[in-house]
Amino acid sequence: MLVTQALGVTRMRRIDELISVVREAFPNDRFFESFAESCRANAIQGRYYRTYDDALRLLDAHSWQVLRKKAVEHFLNHRDGQMKQGFFNQLNEAFAYRHLVRCGYRKVRMLSESQRSMPDICYTESGQVKHCEVKTLGISDKEIRQRSSGLPYDGSVYYPLDDRFFQKFRSAFQIARKQIASQKTDGLVYFVIIFDDFALDYYNEYRRQLVSYCRKQNLDGLYIKVGLRGNRRVCNRKDR
């Protein structure tokens, strides 16, 4: 039986396909073991996978093959306290692809990885080829330690965003710009940011900080998706 048919909901076609390929490539890995049951028991988890599937379904056939291959190749990339981070970071590229398509750009295509640093997506704007690099900033090491400790803590620790966050943000932006420039083109840096503040109680404050920082540092040509679900975003670009 297909994984998501067992959920009793509309089939998640590309998540099903991806899980099948992962299980074939890594038969001894138990990450997706009892996937249907865990989604049934945890509605939030199910909704997150549905969010990914909604984005993945918009990919053209070639881009889906490229992204699926990259995700599988990064399946064993872990971070202490966060399994499969490399795998999910690859899937986040689907959000950028969807964004570019919805903006009306043409010939949006995922790019395969190579030995040299490459951007993730190419697209055409007014007949001109451009590129997009996708960067994911996950929760901090401090937050991972805090969650694993099981100890209570005051949510006020989440505000404001500190210098360490902005150093990481700027470094990722600069790397992305170099990857785009390697193709002798311009384009978009697309961020997916997962804040420590999982409830996003301070989202409005974070947004003001990010907008102010980007203006002061003259960082443009970027789009920030806040969290995986919902429509929270920060856009700082010349054309849109």
pTM of the model: 0.92
Same domain? 116 vs 13: no
User: In total, how many domains does the chain have?
Assistant: 2
State whether 218 and 105 are in the same domain: yes
Res 196: pLDDT:
94
pLDDT reported for residue 45? 92
Domain end position, chosen among 28, 57, 86: 57
**Inside any domain, residue 142:** yes
In a domain, 68, yes or no: no
Hey, which residues does 128 pair with through a beta bridge? 125
pLDDT in tens, the chain (240 residues): 455 554 444 589 999 999 999 999 999 999 999 998 888 899 999 999 999 999 999 999 999 999 999 999 999 998 887 889 999 999 999 999 999 999 999 999 999 998 678 999 999 999 999 999 999 999 998 999 888 888 877 777 899 999 999 999 999 999 999 999 999 999 999 999 999 998 999 999 999 999 999 999 999 999 999 999 989 999 865 544
Domain span holding position 28 = 1-57
How many whole angstroms separate alpha carbon 176 and alpha carbon 82?
23
At which of 24, 57, 90 does a domain end?
Answer: 57
Are 155 and 100 part of one and the same domain?
yes
Q: Are 74 and 89 in contact (CB under 8 A)?
A: yes
Q: What is the pLDDT of residue 33?
A: 93
162 domain residue, yes or no: yes
Whether 138 maps to a domain, the answer reads: yes
Distances in Å between the Cα of 161 and the Cα atoms of 36, 38, 71, 206, 219 are 37, 33, 30, 7, 17
Residue 63 counted as domain residue: no
Please report the pLDDT score of residue 79 as a whole number: 84
Last residue of a domain, one of 57, 87, 103: 57
For residue 140, give the amino acid letter: S
Q: Is residue 65 part of a domain?
A: no
201 and 106 assigned to the same domain: yes
Question: Is residue 151 domain-shared with residue 123, that is, in the same domain?
Answer: yes
- 194 and 138 assigned to the same domain: yes
Residues 99 and 46 in one domain: no
Q: Are residues 137 and 203 in the same domain?
A: yes
Same domain for 110 and 18? no
How many other CB atoms are there within 10 angstroms of residue 183's CB atom?
15
Q: Please report, for residues 42, 123, 129, 223, the alpha-carbon distance to residue 185 in angstroms, rounded to integers and kept in the order given.
A: 44, 11, 7, 17
Same domain, 31 and 84: no
Whether 197 is covered by a domain: the verdict is yes
- Using CA atoms, how far apart are residues 30 and 88, in angstroms rounded to an integer? 16
User: The sheet that has 222-226: what strands, in order across it?
Assistant: 106-110, 121-125, 128-137, 187-193, 222-226, 233-236
Confirm whether 20 is domain-assigned.
yes
Burial call 219-237: b when 16+ CB within 10 Å, e when fewer: bebbbbbbbbeeeeebebe
Shared domain for 35 and 135, answered yes or no, is: no
CB 190 within 8 A of CB 222: yes
Are both 198 and 104 inside the same structural domain?
yes
